[in-house]
């Protein structure tokens, strides 16, 4: 058997609470998020440039990180399309939610890429021609 104990101050009287609507996103909110996503992609591109300019294939840990990052970036591309489709319809709620999901996949990608870059730097990776 389970139960719970609710402690209330003396004289407490419950009042009816009304549900509040959630955040209403606007086109400006969406555009700000997309700007963040574009900036995040620039960082990802720089990290990819570093990794591919080195002999990363000789480091199994890095190869695994790159494969995982590539998967995450694929998911980001899918959610980007969904955010753009919602924005094209003027559905700023869904456009913003998908843009946030797009960014979350980018953050995962960037994290994996930065860990791969650090591993290369710390383990003597050589620049390739």
Q: Give a yes or no: residue 16 inside a domain.
A: no
SS3 assignment, position 127: strand
Q: Give a yes or no: residue 13 inside a domain.
A: no
Nearest to 59 by CA among 128, 129, 127, 119: 119
Provide the domain count of the chain.
1
Q: Give a yes or no: residue 62 inside a domain.
A: yes
Nearest to 113 by CA among 45, 35, 55, 39: 45
Q: Give a yes or no: residue 22 inside a domain.
A: no
Distances (CA, A) of 119 to 4, 46, 63, 88, 128: 50, 16, 11, 41, 16
In sequence order, the 6+-apart residues with CB closer than 8 A to the CB of 41 are: 106
The confidence score (pLDDT) of residue 5 equals 73
Instruction: Tell me the pLDDT of the chain (129 aa) as tens digits.
Output: 787 777 788 888 878 767 667 789 999 999 999 999 999 999 999 999 999 999 999 999 999 999 999 999 999 999 999 999 999 999 999 999 999 999 999 999 999 999 999 999 999 999 998
What's the rounded Cα separation, in Å, for the pair 99 and 56? 31
What's the rounded Cα separation, in Å, for the pair 54 and 108? 22
Q: Give a yes or no: residue 10 inside a domain.
A: no
| Domain, as residue range, for 49 | 27-122
The confidence score (pLDDT) of residue 19 equals 62
Separation of CA 75 from chain center? 10
Q: Give a yes or no: residue 46 inside a domain.
A: yes
């Amino acid at each position: 058997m389970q139960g719970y104990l609710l402690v209330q101050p003396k004289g407490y009287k419950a009042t009816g609470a009304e549900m509040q609507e959630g955040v209403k996103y606007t086109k400006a909110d969406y555009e700000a998020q997309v700007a963040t996503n574009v900036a995040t992609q620039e960082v990802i591109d720089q990290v990819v440039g570093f990794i591919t300019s080195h002999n990363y294939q000789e480091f199994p840990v890095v190869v695994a990180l790159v494969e995982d990052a590539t998967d995450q970036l694929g998911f980001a591309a899918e959610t980007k399309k969904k955010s753009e489709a919602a924005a094209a319809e003027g559905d700023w709620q869904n456009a913003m939610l998908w843009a946030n999901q797009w960014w979350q996949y980018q953050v995962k990608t960037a994290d994996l890429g930065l860990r791969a870059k650090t591993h290369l730097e710390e383990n003597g990776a050589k620049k390739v021609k």
